[in-house]
A and B are shown apart, each in its own frame.
Chain A
Amino acid sequence: MDFQDYQPREGTDEPADRFSGDPREHLVVVGNGMAGCRAVEELLARDAGRYRITIFGAEPHVNYNRIMLSPVLAGEKTFDEIIINGRDWYRDNGITLITDDPIVSIDRASAAVTSRSGRTLGYDRLLIATGSDPFIIPVPGKDLPGVVSFRDMKDVDTMLAAAAKGGAAVVIGGGLLGLEAAHGLALRGMNVTVLHLPGSLMERQLDEAAGWLLKTALEERGQTILTGADTAEIYGDGKVEGVRLKDGREIPASLVVMAVGIRPSVALAREAGLEVGRGIKVDDHMVTSDPSILAVGECAEHDGNVYGLVAPLWDMCRSFADGLTGKANPYRCSATSTKLKVAGLDVFSAGDFSGVGGGCEDIVLRDASRGIYKRLVLQDDRIIGAVLYGDTADGSWYFDLLRKGECVADLRDVLIFGQAFASGGGAADPKAAVAALSDDAEICGCNGVSKGQVLSSIARGAHSLDAVRVTCKASASCGSCTGLVETLLAITLGDDVQAGSKTMCKCTTFTHDDVRREIVAQDMRSIPEVMQKLHWSTPDGCSSCRPALNYYLLCALPGEYIDDQQSRFVNERMHANIQKDGTYSVVPRMWGGLTNPRELRAIADVVEKYNAPMVKVTGGQRLDIFGIRKEDLPAVWADLNAAGMVSGHAYGKSLRTVKTCVGSEWCRFGTQDSTGLGVRIERMTWGSWMPHKFKIAVSGCPRNCAEATIKDFGVVCLDSGYELSVGGNGGIKVRATDLLCRVATEQEALDYCAAFIQLYREEARYLERTAPWIERVGIDYVKQRIVEDEIGREALRARFLFSQGFSQDDPWAQRAEGVAREQHAHMAQFRPARLEEMA
């Protein structure tokens, strides 16, 4: 049956339908999608016979559910199953449907629209529901055959045809749409890589932690997810062959799906002279700047907002229909929530989960073993945002509380556990809930520990969390039951609970030692992973834990872990020392304290060229150039590099200097070549990241001119060999070294030094220098590991040298070449005086 019952008539300027004989007002709808048809449905529900209705669609289909394109791609549904209104709906309601013929212009003066095929049709009311256009990033190759967007059934057909041939696909965009496309293509047997420019997936809907969980889950399903991936071009000869990233990587693919976003489709409205912002501007009843033209859906802008979700669209359609039938029902901005399944994974987000700073609180629940992450953002005891991952059952409850702006002060303690728990009367006291558990209830899933076992462990004297962990293993693995164990301790002992060791920071219940142990035991590989698996209570940590985690991962995974610059203290990020006025000081490395005319000239030139107000010899025998501006640092380093000098790491938690005396070469008392040994030690150890700063000295005789006995590692040369001592500190609390041992050869001195540094690197807490570390673990322990255990010492030495293979590159050279250039350059500059003149 042909529903295109209207044909243009030739030879007349008058819109044809003016002769239709139908006395009703004519409503023409531009767009046969979800918004346009829903608006008509709402109108029919209110007053079915009031308008004569014609709908124009650009696609050759009846009205279908665009959201369901993903299941069609994934093979879970057929096209027939996603049709909302079949042909009979149009027929039964007397609607004229014109498909495959988009409207190309609106003539407001004569109140008529013209379609691509040349049809001209008059209207009394015009509804624009053109939706959105996919955003195509303007890279070379974007027009090659095999590059598609993911917007309509035609795109799906193209993807299905490509998938039938198998091979590799690249999806550009790790938002909802992109991930759904990737999931569908993966299910169709393609080898899928997702490229996402931001650092975490679905960053608009999810926070970093939830984004990390999603990425991990998708990778487990076999997809490759590249975040921070910036597309340079799509290459191919006549058709797509792959994608090249700005960092040079190439990913071969026979299909490229561009799903980086959508924007309101407003070209038609703009050409017709309607008021357009980001979308077509509408009032509370969806009327545009022309009273006879209305707009609903993704193409409309209400009160500065445009929406890409279904719920606001339904609200708009109700206000539209009420307005057209003479009832007031002003549309108000919709609070939005997204509840979705990405590749079978439950995700929910609502409101402003990103918070607004002052006065906002986060409540975070992480349950690593069940893959659950929940975060509520509260302001003034009201929920203003929520992110749920893995368990979205309570999404609608949270969203309801959010929309109503209900005070949740009374529920606060149990809110995160969900509606069932929070509304459970007596159970609203978490202590009572735990007390009510039976003795055989499982407390620790990882180790299969029951409540009864924990209680008997406490009864036998385990009066702290640590003691419980040691005696019955509860809370000793993933830690998700830590709160339960603490509650059991509190119920049983009241005030007699012993405080455990100090936690790493306020973001976690774990100690530094716990965190280090778990990183290795669970083979954790990134900061978000540690935060999720160890139940961090903040979204992205704090300035205490982030640098520590960054170091622990760096130490555990040499050559694999990618350093997180934003988790480093400014000195390490800028590779220079920040001074009180915000300028920096720069210390080039002078091996063993030696220098030469070329280096001295280079330093002198830098001092003059950059107007450094001071140069000073440091306690470690190096030259420190003060007063360098942040933006000049790369140029300073380039000049120093040119003279062969590298970074002295004077800014880092790392090997700083190896101080020496002149030893046997010049000194009449010198017993060994202390300068030469110092240079060799510095060549071996430079560039290594440590828990704290680390200093070494080599003295040529027991007169100890290099002050080796107040260094982290000291060598005093004797006639008979070398005395090695450790754990000295010349800082706030002066501490002389403990004697480690005596060795006979230079090589042994080097080997013991490497082994000692590695033991310190692997076992000390972040920001713990060797002196307090050794006082904590005892010098006997260190001797046992380094002196007595020959195999262990060799293993430590080997691990140190292995990790040095990755860390001994000069950070100055990389920066001088332009790496992380933006950290040094200003983003923009303003000269207000001149601006005022122009204004």
Chain B
Amino acid sequence: MIGEWLDIGWVNEIPVRGSRTVPVEGGEEIAVFRTSDDRIFALVNRCPHKHGPLSQGIVHGHSVACPLHNWNIALATGEAQGEDKGCTPVIPVKIDGGRVLICRASTLKAAA
């Protein structure tokens, strides 16, 4: 039986102020971020602007700067910040005993 949450690994496997990726077969890649205050966020790995891989951007505060054109995306909401408009789907995350779990339904939806 598969639960509601997908276990993707240890928190410590994600560099602080960095990210890791989780490809989903047949769909979008998920980017999982770890911020300087040790919180974990996950977004579809695609900037709403020109689809830059957000996982490769500079993580600062609770935002990530897209590596292609420097759009700033809020990790909690997926919303572009400042003058830019656009949104990247957010994947709910939770931490349990040092393991990172991402929401199964949202992951499958993102993959569809």
Chain B residues 19-39 with CB under 8 Å of chain A are 20-27, 32, 35-39
Given A570-B56, A826-B21: A357 in contact with B74 (beta carbons within 8 A)? yes
Q: Give the distance in Å from the alpha carbon of A200 to the alpha carbon of B14 in the complex.
A: 15
Chain A 350-362 against B: per-residue CB contact (8 Å), 1 yes, 0 no? 0001111110101
Which listed residue, A354, A540, A566, A835, touches B39 by the CB 8 Å rule? A354
Q: Give the distance in Å from the alpha carbon of A546 to the alpha carbon of B14 in the complex.
A: 19
B residues less than 8 Å from A547 (CB atoms): 58
A208 to chain B: closest residue by CB: B36
Given A546-B60, A569-B67, A580-B68: A830 in contact with B15 (beta carbons within 8 A)? no
Residue pair B21, A208 in contact (C-beta under 8 Å): no
Residue pair B76, A358 in contact (C-beta under 8 Å): yes
Chain B residues 72-89 with CB under 8 Å of chain A are 72, 74-77, 79
The verdict on B65 contacting chain A, using a C-beta distance below 8 Å, is yes
Q: Give the distance in Å from the alpha carbon of A354 to the alpha carbon of B95 in the complex.
A: 15
Residue pair B79, A546 in contact (C-beta under 8 Å): no
B17 to chain A: closest residue by CB: A566
A residues less than 8 Å from B58 (CB atoms): 543, 546-547, 566-570
Which listed residue, A356, A539, A567, A828, touches B8 by the CB 8 Å rule? A828
Which listed residue, B21, B50, B62, touches A827 by the CB 8 Å rule? B21
The verdict on A582 contacting chain B, using a C-beta distance below 8 Å, is yes
B residues less than 8 Å from A570 (CB atoms): 56-58, 67
The verdict on B53 contacting chain A, using a C-beta distance below 8 Å, is yes
Q: Give the distance in Å from the alpha carbon of A197 to the alpha carbon of B56 in the complex.
A: 24
* A337: min CB distance to chain B, Å: 17
Residue pair A356, B76 in contact (C-beta under 8 Å): yes
B residues less than 8 Å from A539 (CB atoms): 36-37, 61
- Interface centre among A541, A565, A566, by most chain B C-beta atoms within 10 angstroms, is A566
- Interface centre among B17, B22, B36, B50, by most chain A C-beta atoms within 10 angstroms, is B36
Q: Give the distance in Å from the alpha carbon of A555 to the alpha carbon of B72 in the complex.
A: 28
Q: Give the distance in Å from the alpha carbon of A569 to the alpha carbon of B52 in the complex.
A: 14
- Interface centre among A207, A568, A574, A827, by most chain B C-beta atoms within 10 angstroms, is A827
B37 to chain A: closest residue by CB: A354
Chain A residues 778-836 with CB under 8 Å of chain B are 822-823, 826-833, 835
A residues less than 8 Å from B35 (CB atoms): 354
Chain B 31-51 against A: per-residue CB contact (8 Å), 1 yes, 0 no? 010011111010000000011
Given A566-B16, A829-B23, A830-B111: A540 in contact with B8 (beta carbons within 8 A)? no
B residues less than 8 Å from A828 (CB atoms): 6, 8-9, 22
Given A357-B77, A566-B59, A828-B9: A839 in contact with B37 (beta carbons within 8 A)? no
Chain A residues 694-735 with CB under 8 Å of chain B are none
B residues less than 8 Å from A835 (CB atoms): 2
The verdict on A562 contacting chain B, using a C-beta distance below 8 Å, is no
Residue pair B111, A574 in contact (C-beta under 8 Å): no
Residue pair A540, B25 in contact (C-beta under 8 Å): no
Which listed residue, A207, A567, A827, touches B32 by the CB 8 Å rule? A827
A residues less than 8 Å from B57 (CB atoms): 543, 570
A545 to chain B: closest residue by CB: B60
Residue pair A198, B61 in contact (C-beta under 8 Å): no
Chain A 332-373 against B: per-residue CB contact (8 Å), 1 yes, 0 no? 000000000000000000000111111010100000000000
The verdict on A199 contacting chain B, using a C-beta distance below 8 Å, is yes
Residue pair B9, A543 in contact (C-beta under 8 Å): no
Sample 30 A-B pairs with CB under 8 A, ordered by A number: A204-B38, A207-B37, A354-B37, A355-B61, A357-B74, A357-B77, A540-B17, A542-B61, A543-B60, A543-B65, A543-B70, A546-B58, A565-B18, A566-B17, A566-B58, A569-B67, A570-B56, A570-B67, A573-B56, A578-B68, A580-B50, A822-B13, A823-B18, A826-B20, A827-B13, A829-B24, A830-B22, A832-B25, A832-B27, A832-B108
Q: Please name the 4 residue pairs, one residue from A and one from B, whose CB atoms are nearest each other, closest first.
A: A357-B76, A543-B65, A827-B20, A566-B17
- Extra contacts, 13 of them, besides A208-B37, A829-B25, A835-B2 (Cβ < 8 A), are A355-B37, A357-B74, A360-B62, A543-B60, A566-B17, A582-B53, A822-B13, A823-B15, A827-B13, A827-B21, A830-B23, A830-B25, A832-B24
